[in-house]
Structure 1
Amino acid sequence: MDFHISTAMQLTATITLIIGMALAFTTSGYPRNLQYPIQLWVRGLLIQPFSYALLSMREQIPDWLSIVVANTLLVVSFTLLIQALREYNHRPDRRLAFIVIILLAAAGEILLTYVWPSLQGRIILISLILSIVLLYGLSAIYRAPGPITQPEHLVAIMLGAAIVIMLTRAALTPSSSSIFLTTSSIMQGVVFTYASLMPVIATSGFLLMCGERMNKDLTRLATLDPLTGVFNRRTMTELANKAIAASKRHGRALSLLILDIDHFKRINDQFGHEVGDLALCRFVECVGEVMRESDILARLGGEEFVLILPDTNEKAAISLAERIRKHLCDSEFTVSGWPLPLRASIGVGSLGPAMSNLETLLRETDHAMYEAKRAGRNRIFAASAIRRQSSLDIDPDGATP
């Protein structure tokens, strides 16, 4: 039984239109950072049916509609789909390149319809142009930073298969002048069967990609401080308890720094909370330039931060704290061209008999940080020094002088 090409085109147009309209109603339910890529994808889906509808009416409507406009719209729809992938993965904007490709497609279709009429030429031209556009999509997926997810692999497989089909179609198109676009053949059957499946599978893959991105964003929001990007207090507690348990199990040292930005209230009062937020971010940046990859930085709240140092004894922790203090002093932070110094008082605590769990380690290190404040700020104070001082203040009979 012959494959009825016009019916296949109309079916493809209907399926694509339904998918595009259904997706259009769900766009607003996605986070703002995903709405624009999804909107581009929807536009691509909604334009594609008009292309297939016009192609299916070949010989019934003027050539400029069924050939030039139809094929140009097909290229436009695919560029929008690929642009959606590029926006999703934050790849460089190729809008200008896509506009040039669309114009070349339109010009080529005009020439091969009215100047040098050739169905074979038009099929080869559109097949090659769509293959180039789809290659931009593969690049958007496989040259993106970070690991490639399974849904991205699915979309890439669909794009890769489409490229193979387009190039095969271009290579196998006969040169006979008697062929028609709606002529039934095995190649035509493959092309339009795939055209009807691709919107369904590729859109499913794209929505799965968006779902995974949403899950990652929710996980990040649950574990990180939204302003500074470091771990929040809840996550810090979980990570610190795990680090303490590992240190006890393997008999390794562990230390902790509590860092408090000096005169932070003055920064907020004089320059406003926006500048205060910038100061917090700059402070985190400076600490990050000194800390090791294995260290864990978290925001306890306000202008107070904690730095967990696995495999680090008190002496090494004090040395690191001093490097952080000096780096802050040497770093620049300006407001409207005026330098604004960032300084910190730092308390140092180490895991040991007197501080054997996270609660006591945080409490004693916090006391050490406040001692650094009382001693004049921009200083480092160790919790062990407080304990030694306390022991010196007690007489042999246990009474304080």
Structure 2
Amino acid sequence: MQLTATMTMIIGLALAFTITGYPRFLQYPMRLWVRGLLIQPFSYALFSLRGQIPDWLSIIVANTLLSISFVHLILALYVYNRKPAKLPLMIAIVATTFIGESLLTYVWPSLYGRICLISILLALMCGLGVKAIYQRVEVITRPEHLVAIMFLVGGLIMLARMLKVPDVGMLSVVASTPMQGIVFTYAALLPVIATSGFLLMCGERLNKHLSRLATLDPLTGVFNRRTMTELAGKAVAASKRHGRALSLLIIDIDHFKRINDQFGHEAGDLALCRFVELVGEVMRESDVFARLGGEEFVVILPDSDERAAVEIAERIRQRLGDSDFSVSGWQVPLRVSIGVGTLGPAISDLETLLRMTDHAMYEAKRNGRNRVVPVSAMHSQSALDFGTRDSPQ
């Protein structure tokens, strides 16, 4: 027990030392896990002093601390997986431990009863830990499987323990028996294996977060230009391979420079975020939304011919026109010029699709802004060959 307490304390302190290097969204579940690890050693230390200190310390406080420790570990898993923490249930488990161990120590003294009670409660918490990991729609990673297996094994050991412990003297809990050997071997391995698995879980979550940041525009949260190019290239290849329609929208916010000039760049950032929010309400799940740069955005529309793409573009334009965006109490209209391009005989590759759709968007600006112009509707060949872009605002 003393060895288990020492190992757990060292692991908890080492993890506490490394927490600050992780992003904030991982620090809270890691803090909960660390608290659970740092509480456990005190419980094991009190267990090891059975017979040398009062029973209320070595039995009631020790078991209550062990229960609190497991509660923190389980809460860490719920918070990590963004699930509602079952806080009332956790409080009830701790309260049941304290009250039950008190009654079975002083009112109805029973070693077997105490061990059955704490074993049932620990098995319940192990089951909640397994549920916290597997109750999600994302793919379960190997580190998560590892942590779940450790809690599952712990729950099974606790249930088996109830069948093997006889109702004997108060001090026999520290006696060397095969079942006690299994229990405390598990107690020594849990902080090592489960914490290693939990750290690997956090590492994988961090890698996914960093990978996601590399693909997104930091201000608006939509895909950045590099990612858009990759996704658009794949969409074009899939469209050709399966013979499906594919269209593209290039959207430019009209008079965006005026917003920056009149209200400041912070207002411009708010306008961009509001614009992205409103366009997202119109888009389908299969559509891809990206920021080219500045106030210019791209929407990739799989399985959409030109007619369908124009309808979606018009819905976007109308949704923005009906918005109530304001800055410092001043109503600021969000108007857009949208070019629509579609793969076809005249547009067979991504580069041509982007160029001609961009020309259509500038044709919309030249024709008065706040309108949708498909590539097929451009009136002159010179518009298609337009090489030097103006910058109307």
Give me the TM-score of the superposition, normalised by structure 2.
0.89
Quick one: distance in 2 between partners of 1:295 and 1:325? 17
Call closer, same or farther: CA 1:222–1:391 in 2, change over 3 Å: closer
Call closer, same or farther: CA 1:47–1:392 in 2, change over 3 Å: closer
Counterpart amino acid of residue 138 in structure 1:
V
Would you say the 8 A contact 2:363–2:383 is kept in 1?
A: no
Quick one: distance in 2 between partners of 1:284 and 1:334? 15
Residues 1:73 and 2:65 aligned together: yes
Correspondent of 2:121 among 104, 117, 129: 129
* Identity among equivalent pairs (%): 69
Who is 1:202 aligned against? Answer: 194
CA deviation map 1:54-77 (0-9, x unaligned): 101111122222112211111111
Quick one: distance in 1 between partners of 2:261 and 2:131? 49
Quick one: distance in 1 between partners of 2:383 and 2:230? 36
Aligned ranges 1:177-216 → 2 under 5 Å: 177=169, 180-216=172-208
Residues 1:390 and 2:381 aligned together: yes
Q: Give the Å deviation of 1:249.
A: 4.4
CA deviation map 1:188-213 (0-9, x unaligned): 11111111111111111101111110
Who is 2:80 aligned against? Answer: 88
* Secondary structure of residue in 2 paired with 1:215: helix
Who is 1:244 aligned against? Answer: 236
Call closer, same or farther: CA 1:287–1:42 in 2, change over 3 Å: same
Quick one: distance in 2 between partners of 1:230 and 1:382? 24
Quick one: distance in 2 between partners of 1:136 and 1:272? 51
Quick one: distance in 2 between partners of 1:250 and 1:392? 31
CA deviation map 1:78-105 (0-9, x unaligned): 1111111111111113334323322321
Who is 1:23 aligned against? Answer: 15
* Secondary structure of residue in 2 paired with 1:113: helix
**CA RMSD between the two structures:** 2.5
Aligned ranges 1:268-279 → 2 under 5 Å: 268-279=260-271
Who is 2:29 aligned against? Answer: 37
Who is 1:4 aligned against? Answer: none
Who is 1:342 aligned against? Answer: 334
Q: Give the Å deviation of 1:278.
A: 3.9
Correspondent of 1:170 among 156, 162, 166: 162
CA deviation map 1:88-142 (0-9, x unaligned): 1111133343233223212222222222222112111211222222232222212
Correspondent of 1:261 among 253, 267, 292: 253
Who is 2:288 aligned against? Answer: 296
- 5+ long unaligned stretches in structure 2: 385-393
Counterpart amino acid of residue 344 in structure 1:
V
Quick one: distance in 2 between partners of 1:392 and 1:241? 25
Call closer, same or farther: CA 1:330–1:124 in 2, change over 3 Å: same
Correspondent of 1:367 among 359, 375, 384: 359
Q: Give the Å deviation of 1:251.
A: 4.8
- 5+ long unaligned stretches in structure 1: 1-8, 394-401
Counterpart amino acid of residue 73 in structure 1:
L
Quick one: distance in 2 between partners of 1:174 and 1:273? 74
Would you say the 8 A contact 2:111–2:168 is kept in 1?
A: no
Quick one: distance in 1 between partners of 2:334 and 2:383? 35
Q: Give the Å deviation of 1:39.
A: 1.4
Quick one: distance in 1 between partners of 2:40 and 2:125? 15
Who is 1:98 aligned against? Answer: 90
Who is 1:113 aligned against? Answer: 105
Who is 2:391 aligned against? Answer: none
Quick one: distance in 1 between partners of 2:240 and 2:230? 16
Counterpart amino acid of residue 389 in structure 1:
S
Quick one: distance in 2 between partners of 1:38 and 1:362? 45
Who is 1:3 aligned against? Answer: none
Counterpart amino acid of residue 304 in structure 1:
E
What is the number of equivalent residue pairs in this alignment?
384
Call closer, same or farther: CA 1:130–1:281 in 2, change over 3 Å: same
Q: Give the Å deviation of 1:20.
A: 1.2
* Secondary structure of residue in 2 paired with 1:25: helix
